[in-house]
Amino acid sequence: MSDAEILFEIKDGLGLMTLNRPKALNALSHGMILEMERVMPQWEKDPAVKAVVLRGAGDRAFCAGGDVAGLYREMRDDPNGTVRRDFFRDEYIVNRRIYRFAKPWISLIDGIDMGGGVGLSVHGSHSVASEKFLFAMPETTIGLFPDVGGGYFLTRLPGALGTFLALTSHRLKAADALWAGIVDAYVPSAAMGELQAALGAADLSGPDANRKVDAVIARFAGDAGVPGLPAMMADIDRCFSAESLQEIEAKLRKHPGEWAEKQLAALLKLSPLSMAITLEQLKRCANRSFEDSMTIEYRMSQRCMQKGHDFFEGVRALLIDKDQKPQWNPPTIDGVTREMVESHFKPVSNDLFFD
Distance from C-alpha of 103 to C-alpha of 111, rounded to nearest angstrom: 24
Asked about 147 being catalytic, the answer comes back as yes
**C-beta separation of 28 from 91 below 8 A:** yes
Question: Active site residue: 56, 58, 115, 116, which one?
Answer: 116
What is the three-class DSSP state of 108?
strand
Phi, psi (5° rounding) for residue 15?
Answer: -85, 110
Catalytic: 139? yes
Reply yes or no on whether 66 is catalytic: yes
The active-site residue out of 5, 147, 184, 280 is: 147
Report how far residue 151's alpha carbon sits from residue 145's, in angstroms, rounded to the nearest whole number.
9
Tell me how far apart the alpha carbons of residues 140 and 143 are, in angstroms, rounded to a whole number: 5
- Region of 148 (left: φ > 0; alpha: ψ -120 to 50; beta: rest) is left
Catalytic residue among 139, 176, 310, 313: 139
| Closest C-alpha to 69, from 20, 113, 25 | 25
228 is catalytic: no
Candidates 15, 56, 58, 66; catalytic one? 66
Residue 130 CB neighbour total at 10 angstroms? 21
Report residue 129: phi and psi, to 5°.
-110, 145
What are the residue numbers of the active site?
Answer: 66, 116, 139, 147
